[in-house]
Chain A
Amino acid sequence: MLLDILTRLFIKDAMNSKDIARERLRLVLVHDRSSVSPEVLNNLKEDLIKVIRQYMDIDEEALAVNFENDDESVALVANIPVKGFRRAV
């Protein structure tokens, strides 16, 4: 009990396991419901990289493609950090 409190006070990323569960659940349910497998999503991500790379320099490692849902609708959200633009030739 005391150890718990101390852990949460002093360890910065002692995120509640409940919040981790919520987030994991949210993601897995969006995938389940959309019947899009992580593999399909990964293929989509690789294709996106191919296309966008022709136009700008992007951080491929940090690129994230995911489904996000609010009450009724589901959106495909891609977060693509841009490192720089290709110089016009």
Chain B
Amino acid sequence: MENKNKDGQVIVVTSGKGGVGKTTTVANVASALAKMGHRVVVIDLDIGLKKLDLILGLENRVIYDIIQVIEGECTLKQALVKDKRFPELYMLPAAQTRNKEDITPEQVVALCAQLRPDFDYIFIDCPAGIEQGFRNAIAAADQALVVTNPEVSAVRDADRIIGMLESAAFTDIKLVVNRLRNEMVRQGDMLSVDDLLEHLCIDLVGIVPEDKGILVSTNKGEPVVLNERSQAAIAFNNIARRLSGEDIEFLSFDDESFWRRLTRGLFSSR
């Protein structure tokens, strides 16, 4: 890699509200970056409620977890699970039978310091909420991706999280709008990306359309970015490319066909 002698970036993926797609974003953006040839590690900090191993389809390969690393039961290297589908993608699993208070922000910082020399990107999957788990997750991060859905409660929580990140001196906070349904925005029944940006006032890094392919790939334990035809896959690939410094235009993901647009223009009163 061209940036071999540069230490890796730690990126926390957070949202406040649960269920907006943090883990899916981590799994897919990390996979996309790994596919591009970067060395990537993903850390699941949702201790007690882990999901990343399932989303990535690595649940059967987990031997040790992050708590065992911290408590010295195994080495960091032993706990890292390699994803064989990509040249350099590793996962550090969360512990399922422990809780968020069993780890401190200082320990996360120390862990990331150990990983930085060996990786280009270190992704942290943050648990929902604003308590200890959140504080642990942001402790070592250089930048934050805030994932939200075009829905009032998710945006409100995103705003709160952005406030907390700003007061923790984060300067690099970017927004991922997940599960956007263009046809609903068009009908006036969903907040648009512009509406969200107007309220949240941070930079946009990705727009991911609602896509049935996500559930299918979750069912199989395969990141959706492996499925080239999926619209969400294109969106996640684009986020990865933007993070690595490329200037990629935002796609509208307008699934409306020319014919439908024409008939709508002719027969609709709006």
A18, B192: Cβ atoms closer than 8 Å: yes
- Interface positions of B from 151 to 172, Cβ below 8 Å from A: 151-152, 155-156, 159-160, 163
Which one, B26-34, B182-190, B224-232, is touching chain A? B182-190
**Would A19 and B159 be within 8 Å (CB), given that A26-B199, A29-B199 are in contact?**
no
Q: What are the 5 A-B residue pairs with the smallest beta carbon separation, nearest first?
A: A16-B188, A18-B188, A17-B189, A25-B152, A21-B152
Query: Does B270 have its Cβ within 8 Å of any Cβ on chain A?
Result: yes
Indicate if A9 sits at the interface (CB-CB under 8 A): yes
CB pairs A–B below 8 angstroms (15 shown): A5-B269, A17-B189, A18-B185, A18-B188, A21-B151, A21-B152, A21-B191, A22-B195, A24-B152, A25-B152, A25-B155, A29-B156, A29-B159, A32-B159, A33-B159
| B188-A28 in contact (CB<8A) | no
Verify B188–A17 contact, CB threshold 8 A.
yes
Q: Are B268 and A25 in contact (CB under 8 A)?
A: no
In the bound complex, what is the Cα–Cα distance between A65 and B160 (angstroms)?
Answer: 23
The CA of A54 and the CA of B199, in the complex, are separated in Å by 39
Report whether A18 and B190 are in contact in the complex, using a CB–CB cutoff of 8 Å: yes
Query: With a CB–CB cut-off of 8 A, which chain A residues contact B269?
Result: 5, 9
A21 to B191, CA, bound (A): 7
B267 to chain A, nearest CB (A): 9
Chain A residue at smallest Cβ distance from B192: A18
Contacts of B163 in A (CB 8 A): 33
- Chain A residues lying within 8 Å of B187, measured Cβ to Cβ, are 4, 16
A25 adjacent to B189 (CB under 8 Å): no
Known interface pairs A5-B268, A5-B269, A18-B190; A25-B185 also in contact (CB < 8 Å):
no
A24 to B188, CA, bound (A): 15
Tally of contact residues, A, Cβ under 8 A: 17
Q: Is A8 an interface residue (CB 8 A)?
A: yes
Which B residues lie within 8 Å of A18 (CB)?
Answer: 185, 188-192, 195
B-side contacts of A25, CB under 8 Å: 152, 155-156, 191, 195, 199
Chain A residues near B188 (CB, 8 Å)? 16-19
Complex Cα–Cα for A29 and B185 (A)? 21
0/1 per residue, A3-38, Cβ < 8 Å to B? 011001100000011110110111011001100000
Chain A residues with CB under 8 A of B192: 18
Specify which chain B residues have a CB less than 8 angstroms from the CB of A17 in the assembled complex. 188-189
Shortest distance from the beta carbon of B78 to any chain A beta carbon, whole Å: 44
Please report the C-alpha to C-alpha distance between residue A26 and residue B268 in the assembled complex, in whole angstroms: 30
A32 to B163, CA, bound (A): 10
Nearest opposing residue in chain A for B187, CB measure: A4
Minimal Cβ-Cβ distance residue in B for A15: B188
Tell me whether B156 and A22 are in contact (CB under 8 A).
Answer: no
- Give the chain A neighbours of B159 by CB distance below 8 A: 29, 32-33
CA distance A16 to B189 in the complex (A): 6
- Complex: how many Å from CA A8 to CA B270? 9
Give the docked Cα–Cα distance between A16 and B185 (Å). Answer: 10
Q: Are A32 and B189 in contact (CB under 8 A)?
A: no
Q: How far is the CB of B181 from chain A (nearest CB, A)?
A: 11
Contacts of B199 in A (CB 8 A): 25-26, 29
Q: A52 vs B189: C-alpha distance in the bound complex, in angstroms?
A: 41
Q: How far is the CA of A8 from the CA of B269 in the complex (A)?
A: 10
